[in-house]
Structure formats: structure tokens, C-alpha cells
């Protein structure tokens, strides 16, 4: 049979371009729950940066909810306006259920891409190096001074950032302002100098098209979302395999398996990247051993 040229473009690819364990989140959940850094007491610090309203707080809350097995809100979500809500530097730790301990990965959430109101790029750079103490209130006008009480002069490995995550609202991504691209690149450059792995999370995929809203499992079948990711990758230089679309918990009162699967898939990769980086740093910090045994 010949191709019917009058047929409209198919909305969905017949095969997803990436595979996700839909309906079987247990493997990824166990990976995240059982993750232990090689060094006792080490923690991975995951820094989320991105415009106000991109879904940073919602992502942290979603991760917490999945790990606790019920919806949970710790990071305040800003529903009122897209003005600065999360300006104070704060570390989010997730307690392990029924234990007196926390998961060995923590989140920080800073608003970093606003042109005038955002966190100073230099402050993001200081954060990457672990110089910013919890409780510091970012000032878009000036960067944290070494004389400030919130300046950490001798950051430990736990204070430094191990993975930099750029959080972007997929539904309103384009057109991207030149300034935003420049800011992302600027921060990326610093992270690259420090060899910190970088990831991008595309949030609100449910708002991208009706096919995904109707069924999240279509996320890797929608060509237009893939194209958006490719375009973003080309703009800012984050490779495609480090970009993850997610849908955060934001309106529901119960957990949903598909939502969990997509977030866990992203989180697992973030933890892996951070773990690789930490192990790489640790081996490069160790004195050279010339023994041939």
C-alpha cells in the first residue's frame, strides 16, 4: 500500500525514544533508598537552580513524597506569583522512615536565572564550592562577601555541590532569552571547571501537550518535546542524556505510579552522576601511591 499523503503527521512516535520502567518503579526506588556513598558520612549535595516558578520546590517535595510513600510538603511551593520566594539558602534533608537518620543526598534550591531579581551568578559559583552557609539570604545586588558570617571559609566535601541541576519549565521554555542562556552557560562553565556533573530537568511536561496530560507514559513518544530538549541541549550545551522530563506532584493527594517512575528515573541518574563525581574527586585528592604491589 502506498503512503497516504493526506494523513496528518502522527502526534505520537510508535516507539518511545527512551525506556522507563512504567508500572515497575520498585527497582529504581530500591536503588535510591539503598544508595550509600563509598565514604561513611559522605553526602551528595544536589543544587537545583532555575527561574522562579520552574518547579524546584515541587521537585524536592515530589522526591520526598515518593520516598515517604505519601504526599509530603517541605519546600514551600510558590503559587502566588513568580517573584522571589526561595531566596534563603536552605538544605533539604529527607529523613529515613522509622530511623533516626537521613538519606545521604540533600537538596539546595536557588533561584538563579532571573535577569535582575535572581541570585547573583557569583553566589551560585560560591555555592558550588561550598562557601554559602545555610540561612544566607541571597542579595541580587551583591555577592556574598568573605567577611560575612554566612561565608564558609573552609568547606568540607559535604558542603560542596556534587550535581548541578538546572530546572526548566518545559511548557514555557521557548523563546529563551539570550540573558537566560548566558546565565545558564556561565554557571555551567564554572561547574565544568570544577568537573561537577550537570543535569537539566524539564518540569511540567503535563502542560506541554494533551497527549502527555492524558497519559504520562507518552512523554518519550512526543516528538515536539524531544525537539525542545534537543534545542535546549544545543543552546546551553547540556547533552541530551543529561536532560530529564518530569511531572511533579502539584495538585493530587495520592501518589501515582507513572509520576513516581519518571521522577525516580531522573533521580537515579542524578545520584549516579553525583556518586561518580564524588569518587573521582576522592581518588584525585588521595596521595599518589607508587607501590607496585
Binding site for ligand GDP (CB under 6 A): 50, 52-58, 77-79, 85-86, 167, 203-204, 206-207, 247-248, 250
Total binding residues for Mg ion by CB under 5 A? 3
Q: Which of 86, 152, 180, 218 binds Mg ion (CB under 5 A)?
A: 86
For 143, what's the count of Cα atoms within 13 Å in the CB-facing half-sphere? 12
CB of residue 165 vs ligand GDP: minimum separation in angstroms?
11
Does 65 contact Mg ion by CB under 5 A? no
CB 285 → ligand GDP: shortest distance, Å? 33
The CB-of-52 to ligand GDP minimum distance in angstroms stands at 4
Q: Which of ligand GDP, Mg ion, none is residue 190 near (CB under 5 to 8 Å by kind)?
A: none
Residue 44 binding: pick among ligand GDP, Mg ion, none (C-beta 5-8 Å cut-off by kind): none
| Contact stretch for Mg ion (CB under 5 A) within 22-30, 51-59, 96-104, 272-280 | 51-59
> Which DSSP letter does residue 173 get?
-
The residue whose Cβ lies closest to Mg ion is: 57
Q: Which is nearer to Mg ion, 13 or 76 (CB)?
A: 76
Parallel, antiparallel, or unpaired: how do β-strands 91-92 and 105-111 relate? antiparallel
Closest to ligand GDP by CB, 121 or 266 = 266
Shortest distance, position 67 Cβ to ligand GDP, whole Å: 17
Of 89 and 277, which has the nearer Cβ to Mg ion?
A: 89
Task: Please give the radius of gyration of the chain, using alpha carbons only, rounded to the nearest integer.
Answer: 20
Buried b (16+ CB within 10 A) or exposed e, 136-168: bebebeebbeeeeeeebeebebbbbbbbbbbbb
First to last CA, the chain: 69
| Inter-residue contact 28 to 268 (CB < 8 Å) | yes
Region class of 135: left (phi > 0), else alpha (psi between -120 and 50), else beta: left
Residue 57 in the binding site for Mg ion (CB under 5 A): yes
Under the criterion CB under 5 A, does residue 64 sit at the interface with Mg ion? Answer: no
Q: What whole-number distance in Å separates Cα of residue 9 and Cα of residue 24?
A: 32
The 3-state DSSP class for residue 119 equals coil
207 binds, among Mg ion, ligand GDP, none (CB under 5 to 8 A by kind): ligand GDP
Residue 200 to residue 168: CA distance in whole angstroms: 7
Element (H, E) at 280: helix 257-285
Nearest-approach distance from CB 38 to ligand GDP, in angstroms: 31
Which chain residues interact with Mg ion by CB under 5 A? Answer: 56-57, 86
Amino acid at each position: 500500500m502506498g503512503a497516504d499523503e493526506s494523513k496528518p503527521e502522527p502526534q505520537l512516535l510508535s516507539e518511545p525514544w527512551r525506556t522507563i520502567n512504567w508500572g515497575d518503579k520498585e527497582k529504581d526506588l530500591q536503588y535510591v533508598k539503598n544508595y550509600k556513598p563509598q565514604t561513611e558520612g559522605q553526602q551528595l549535595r544536589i543544587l537545583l537552580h532555575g527561574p522562579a516558578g520552574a518547579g524546584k520546590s515541587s521537585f524536592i517535595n515530589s522526591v520526598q513524597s515518593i520516598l515517604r510513600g505519601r504526599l509530603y510538603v517541605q519546600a514551600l511551593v510558590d503559587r502566588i506569583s513568580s517573584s522571589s520566594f526561595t531566596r534563603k539558602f536552605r538544605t533539604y534533608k529527607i529523613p529515613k522512615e522509622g530511623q533516626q537518620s537521613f538519606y545521604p543526598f540533600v537538596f539546595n534550591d536557588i533561584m538563579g536565572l532571573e535577569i535582575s531579581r535572581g541570585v547573583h551568578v557569583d553566589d551560585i559559583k560560591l555555592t558550588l564550592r561550598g562557601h554559602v552557609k545555610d540561612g544566607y539570604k541571597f542579595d541580587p545586588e551583591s555577592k556574598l562577601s568573605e567577611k560575612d558570617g554566612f561565608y564558609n571559609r573552609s568547606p568540607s566535601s559535604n558542603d560542596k555541590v556534587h550535581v548541578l541541576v538546572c530546572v526548566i519549565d518545559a511548557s514555557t521554555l521557548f523563546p529563551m532569552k539570550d540573558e537566560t542562556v548566558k546565565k545558564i552557560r556561565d554557571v555551567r562553565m564554572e561547574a565544568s571547571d570544577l568537573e561537577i556533573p550537570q543535569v537539566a530537568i524539564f518540569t511540567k511536561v503535563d502542560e506541554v501537550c494533551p497527549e502527555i496530560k492524558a497519559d504520562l507514559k507518552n512523554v518519550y513518544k512526543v516528538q515536539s518535546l524531544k525537539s525542545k530538549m534537543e534545542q535546549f541541549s544545543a543552546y546551553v550545551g547540556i547533552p541530551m542524556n543529561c536532560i530529564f522530563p518530569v511531572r511533579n506532584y502539584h495538585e493530587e493527594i495520592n501518589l501515582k505510579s507513572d509520576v513516581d517512575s519518571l521522577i525516580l528515573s531522573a533521580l537515579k541518574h542524578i545520584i549516579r552522576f553525583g556518586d561518580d563525581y564524588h569518587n573521582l574527586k576522592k581518588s584525585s585528592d588521595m596521595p599518589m601511591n607508587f607501590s607496585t604491589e
